[in-house]
C-alpha cells in the first residue's frame, strides 16, 4: 500500500516524526557538500575554473536527482517512505567510501584539463547527488496527498531540510571541521544518514500494519494553476538571482574577513536559515488565505521578490558601514533577511504552478530542477563570466534589475500591477537605488578592509576585480589580495618594508639555483629579486590570479620582470600545476605563502603537498616557503624533510644539508643588481651598514630571539603539535 494511505490527516504526531527525519537528513547533505568539494579542490585545484566546475557539477547532480525522485513518485505501487529510507542508507554507504574513492581517482587524474575535471567530478558525484536530490519530490508527493496543499507541503519540507543544512554549516564552522577533519566529518554524516534511513524503514514497517486497518485518505481536489513552464522559468530566474547574490556576498565577506574558512560556512548557514525561514513563513499563508487563489499567491510572490532583490542589493553597502563599528559576524542577520525574502518565493511558485491532484511530486521535480539550474547558472555566469568584466556595483545593479523584472512578471500574472502597493513601492525604491548606487558603493572595499580605521581620504590607487577575486593597492604600494596583506611593490633592501631580506637569502642558501619555481606572483617583488640573481637561468611562476599582471606593469620597480626572458608566468593553481607536470624538476621552489589560517592554504602546507614537492626537487634542491609564524607549519616541514632551516617566518627544507652561507651571501649581495642598479651602493655608509646588518643575520642560528633556527630546535619546541594534513586542514577552521 502506498504511503499516502498509511497516515491519516488527523495524525500530527506521525507527521512530526517524518518532518524530523527530513530535518536530520539535511544536516549530512550539506556536510558532505562542504567536505567533498574541499576534497576535490585539493585534488583538482582552487583556481576559479576548477572551483566553478566542481560546484556546477554538484548542483547539476542534485537537479537530476530531483527529476529521478519525481519520476519515482509517480510509479504505481512505490512505497515512498520505503524509498526514502533506502536512499538515505545508500547515501550513507557511498559517504563512508567517498574520500577513499576521491583520493584514488584523483591521484590518477589530478592535473587534468578543466573539461576532464568536470567529467571526472560529475562521475564521482553523480550517484550521491542523484540520491540526495531525489528525496524532496518523494516526500512532497506524500504530504501533498495528505494535505491537498502544495505550498504548505513544499514550504514545510523545504524549510526543515534547509534548516538542517544550515545547522550543519554552523556546526562545521564552529567545531566539526577543526575537531573531526574531513574523514571524521564524513563519518558523522554517514552515521546520520544511516540513522535516518533505518528509522524510516522501521516507521514504514510499523505504519504498514496500521495502514491495512485504515481507509485511504479522500482524493485531493484540483485547483487553478499557472502553466508549469511559466513557473519553471520564474523559479529558475529566482534561483539565478539568489545564488548570484550569494556569490557577491561571499566575495565581500571573504574580503573583510581576510578569507578565513569559517566565514563562508557561517555565511552559508545564515543564507540557508533565511531560505528555510522564508519557506516556513509562507506555509501558513498557503494553507490559509492564499488557499487555491492563484492570483493572490502570485501577488504575494511579487512582493517578496522585489523586497528580496532590494535587501540583497543593499547588503554590500550595509556590510561596509557595519564593519566600521561592529564585527562582521554580527551582520549575518542581514544575509538572513535577504535570503528569507528570496527563499519565500519557491514554495509560493510551487503553490501557484502545481495542481495537488496531478502528480505533485513529479511536477515539483521539474520546478525544483529549474530552480537548481537557475541557481547553478547564477553561480556560473556571475562568478565565472560577469565578474570578470563588471564591477561589484554593476553586477549588483544587473541583479536588482532582474529581480524587478521577475517581480513585474509575477504582478502582471496576478493582475495586480496597478493595485499592489508594496510592489509599486519596491519599483520606486529600485529606481532610486539605481541613482544612489554610486554613493552607496563608493569606497566599498576601502571600508571593508580598513573597518574602524577607515577615513574618507583612504582610497585605493588600484583596484582589480575579476572572477578570481579582488586585488587592491593603497597609496603606500601595499598590496591586498582578497582582503589580506599580500606584499608591497618594493625591491629596495636598504629600505626593507616587506621583509625582502628573506628573498635575497636565496643567494646564500643555494650556490646555483639554476632552475627555479615560484608559486604565487603577487606584487612580483620576490620574483624580481630572484630573476636578478645571476645564478638563476630559468624561473617558472605559477599564479592563480591574472589580475596581478596589469598591476605589475604599472610599477617601475617590478615592471621589467614581465619582459624578462628568464621568467615564464603560468596562470593556474600551484598544486594542480605540479600534479600536471610530474617530470619537471627544480633546484629551488619558492612560495611566499599567505597566512596559514586562510581558506584552502593548507593545500600548500600539508604533509601531502610537501611530499609532492619533494618529487619535483633535483638532488640538493630546496623548498623555501612562508609559514607566517605557524608552529604547526614549521613542525610539518621539519617532519617531512631530513633537513630544515627556519629563516624568520620562512622555512627551507631539503633532502640535503642546508645552511645560510654568510660568505657566499656577502659576495652575492655586494654585486647584486636589479634593472642595472646595485642593491647596495657600497660608497655610501648607510648602504654598507645595512648590508653588514643583513649578512650578520646568518650568525643568529639557534640564539634567543634569533632569525635562524635549526631543524633540531624546531622539532624540540614544536614537539606534540599535530602535523598539517589534507584531512585535518591545519589551522584553517580555528
**Domain limit, last residue, from 168, 198, 220:** 220
**Same domain as 677, residue 614:** yes
The pLDDT assigned to 288 comes to 65
The pLDDT assigned to 207 comes to 66
Which residue, among 461, 468, 467, has the nearest Cα to 445 in the 3D structure?
A: 461
Q: How far is CA 544 from the centre of its chain?
A: 15
**Same domain as 572, residue 696:** yes
In this structure, what C-alpha cell is assigned to residue 268? 552559508
In a domain, 725, yes or no: no
**Domain limit, last residue, from 171, 199, 220:** 220
Q: What is the domain-level CATH number for residue 495? A: 3.40.50.150
Sign of the Cα torsion 260, 262, 266, 271 reads positive
Distance CA 534, CA 668 (A): 9
The pLDDT assigned to 667 comes to 96
In a domain, 481, yes or no: no
Distance CA 406, CA 564 (A): 52
**Domain limit, last residue, from 220, 255, 271:** 220
**Same domain as 352, residue 319:** yes
**pTM beyond 0.85:** yes
**Same domain as 304, residue 171:** no
**Same domain as 532, residue 499:** yes
3-state class (DSSP) for residue 428: helix
The pLDDT assigned to 211 comes to 46
Distance CA 603, CA 36 (A): 15
- Bridge-based pairing of strands 673-674 and 478-481 is unpaired
**Same domain as 288, residue 204:** no
Q: How many domains does the chain have?
A: 3
In a domain, 465, yes or no: no
Distance CA 374, CA 435 (A): 28
The pLDDT assigned to 6 comes to 39
**Same domain as 320, residue 288:** yes
**Same domain as 269, residue 152:** no
Q: What is the domain-level CATH number for residue 254? A: 1.20.1250
Distance CA 620, CA 69 (A): 58
In a domain, 472, yes or no: no
The pLDDT assigned to 3 comes to 40
Contact 543, 569 (CB under 8 A): yes
Distance CA 135, CA 83 (A): 9
H and E: helices and strands count for the chain? 27, 14
In a domain, 657, yes or no: yes
Mean pLDDT computed over every residue of the chain:
90
**Same domain as 708, residue 684:** yes
Stretches where the chain sits below pLDDT 50 are 1-13, 209-217
The pLDDT assigned to 355 comes to 79
The pLDDT assigned to 151 comes to 62
Per-residue model confidence as pLDDT tens digits over 292-346: 788 888 999 999 999 999 999 999 999 999 999 999 999 999 999 999 999 889 8
Q: Which residue segment(s) compose the domain that 708 sits in?
A: 486-717
**Same domain as 138, residue 29:** yes
The pLDDT assigned to 199 comes to 92
| Residue given cell 624533510 in the structure block | 641
Which residue, among 429, 252, 256, has the nearest Cα to 335 in the 3D structure?
A: 252
In a domain, 726, yes or no: no
**Same domain as 441, residue 522:** no
**Same domain as 251, residue 104:** no
In a domain, 174, yes or no: yes
In a domain, 207, yes or no: yes
Which residue, among 293, 362, 328, has the nearest Cα to 149 in the 3D structure?
A: 293
Distance CA 189, CA 27 (A): 7
Amino acid at each position: 500500500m502506498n504511503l499516502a494511505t498509511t497516515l491519516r490527516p488527523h495524525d500530527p504526531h506521525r507527521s512530526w516524526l517524518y518532518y524530523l527525519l527530513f530535518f536530520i537528513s539535511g544536516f549530512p547533505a550539506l556536510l558532505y557538500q562542504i567536505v567533498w568539494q574541499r576534497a576535490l579542490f585539493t585534488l583538482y585545484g582552487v583556481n576559479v575554473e576548477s572551483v566553478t566546475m566542481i560546484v556546477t557539477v554538484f548542483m547539476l547532480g542534485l537537479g537530476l536527482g530531483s527529476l529521478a525522485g519525481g519520476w519515482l513518485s509517480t510509479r504505481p505501487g512505490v512505497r515512498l517512505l520505503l524509498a526514502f529510507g533506502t536512499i538515505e542508507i545508500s547515501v550513507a554507504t557511498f559517504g563512508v567510501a567517498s574520500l577513499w574513492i576521491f583520493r584514488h581517482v584523483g591521484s590518477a587524474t589530478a592535473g587534468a584539463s578543466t573539461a576532464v575535471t568536470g567529467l571526472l567530478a560529475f562521475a564521482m558525484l553523480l550517484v550521491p547527488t542523484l540520491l540526495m536530490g531525489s528525496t524532496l519530490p518523494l516526500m512532497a508527493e506524500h504530504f501533498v496527498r495528505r494535505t491537498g496543499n502544495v505550498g504548505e507541503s513544499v514550504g514545510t519540507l523545504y524549510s526543515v531540510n534547509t534548516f538542517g543544512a544550515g545547522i550543519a554549516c554552523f556546526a562545521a564552522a564552529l567545531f566539526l571541521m577543526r575537531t573531526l577533519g574531513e574523514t571524521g566529518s564524513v563519518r558523522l554524516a554517514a552515521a546520520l544518514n544511516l540513522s535516518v534511513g533505518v528509522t524510516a524503514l522501521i516507521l514504514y514497517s510499523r505504519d504498514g500494519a496500521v495502514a491495512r486497518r485504515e481507509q485511504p485518505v479522500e482524493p485531493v481536489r484540483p485547483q487553478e494553476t499557472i502553466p508549469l513552464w511559466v513557473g519553471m522559468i520564474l523559479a529558475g530566474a529566482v534561483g539565478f538571482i539568489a545564488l548570484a547574490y550569494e556569490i557577491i556576498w561571499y566575495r565581500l565577506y571573504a574580503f573583510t574577513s581576510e578569507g578565513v574558512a569559517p566565514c563562508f560556512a557561517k555565511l552559508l548557514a545564515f543564507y540557508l536559515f533565511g531560505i528555510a525561514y522564508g519557506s516556513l513563513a509562507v506555509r501558513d499563508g498557503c494553507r490559509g488565505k492564499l488557499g487555491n487563489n492563484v492570483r493572490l499567491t502570485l501577488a504575494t510572490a511579487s512582493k517578496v521578490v522585489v523586497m528580496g532583490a532590494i535587501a540583497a542589493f543593499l547588503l554590500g553597502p550595509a556590510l561596509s558601514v557595519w564593519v566600521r563599528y561592529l564585527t562582521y559576524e554580527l551582520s549575518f542577520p542581514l544575509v538572513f533577511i535577504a535570503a528569507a525574502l528570496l527563499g519565500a518565493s519557491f514554495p509560493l511558485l510551487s503553490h501557484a504552478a502545481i495542481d495537488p491532484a496531478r502528480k505533485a511530486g513529479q511536477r515539483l521535480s521539474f520546478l525544483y530542477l529549474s530552480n537548481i539550474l537557475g541557481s547553478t547558472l547564477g553561480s556560473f555566469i556571475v562568478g565565472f563570466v560577469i565578474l570578470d568584466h563588471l564591477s561589484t556595483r554593476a553586477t549588483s545593479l544587473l541583479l536588482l534589475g532582474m529581480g524587478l523584472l521577475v517581480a513585474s512578471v509575477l504582478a502582471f500574472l496576478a493582475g495586480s500591477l496597478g493595485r499592489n502597493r508594496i510592489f509599486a513601492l519596491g519599483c520606486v525604491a529600485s529606481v532610486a537605488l539605481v541613482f544612489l548606487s554610486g554613493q552607496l558603493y563608493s569606497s566599498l572595499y576601502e571600508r571593508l578592509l580598513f573597518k574602524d580605521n577607515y577615513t574618507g581620504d583612504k582610497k585605493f590607487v588600484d583596484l582589480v576585480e575579476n572572477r578570481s577575486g579582488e586585488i587592491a593597492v593603497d597609496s603606500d604600494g601595499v598590496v591586498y589580495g582578497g582582503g589580506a596583506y599580500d606584499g608591497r611593490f618594493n625591491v629596495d633592501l636598504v629600505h626593507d618594508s616587506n621583509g625582502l631580506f628573506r628573498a635575497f637569502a636565496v643567494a646564500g642558501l643555494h650556490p646555483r639555483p639554476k632552475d627555479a619555481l615560484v608559486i604565487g606572483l603577487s606584487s612580483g617583488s620576490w620574483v624580481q629579486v630572484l630573476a636578478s640573481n645571476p645564478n638563476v637561468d630559468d624561473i617558472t611562476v605559477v599564479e592563480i590570479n591574472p589580475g596581478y599582471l596589469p598591476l605589475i606593469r604599472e610599477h617601475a620597480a617590478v615592471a621589467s620582470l614581465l619582459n624578462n626572458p628568464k621568467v615564464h608566468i603560468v596562470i593556474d593553481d600551484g598544486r594542480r600545476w605540479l600534479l600536471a607536470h610530474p617530470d619537471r624538476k627544480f633546484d629551488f621552489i619558492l612560495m611566499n605563502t599567505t597566512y596559514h589560517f586562510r581558506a584552502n592554504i593548507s593545500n600548500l602546507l600539508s604533509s601531502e603537498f610537501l611530499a609532492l614537492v619533494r618529487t619535483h626537487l633535483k638532488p640538493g634542491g630546496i623548498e623555501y616557503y612562508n609559514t607566517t609564524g605557524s608552529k604547526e607549519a614549521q613542525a610539518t616541514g621539519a617532519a617531512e624533510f631530513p633537513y630544515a632551516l627556519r629563516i624568520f617566518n620562512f622555512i627551507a627544507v631539503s633532502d640535503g644539508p642546508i645552511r645560510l652561507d654568510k660568505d657566499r651571501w656577502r659576495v652575492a649581495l655586494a654585486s647584486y643588481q636589479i634593472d642595472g642598479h646595485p642593491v647596495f651602493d657600497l660608497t655610501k655608509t648607510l648602504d654598507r651598514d645595512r648590508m653588514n646588518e643583513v649578512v650578520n643575520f646568518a650568525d643568529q642560528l639557534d640564539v634567543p630571539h634569533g632569525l635562524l633556527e635549526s631543524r633540531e630546535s624546531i622539532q624540540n619546541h614544536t614537539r606534540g603539535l599535530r602535523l598539517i594534513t589534507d584531512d585535518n586542514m591545519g589551522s584553517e577552521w580555528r
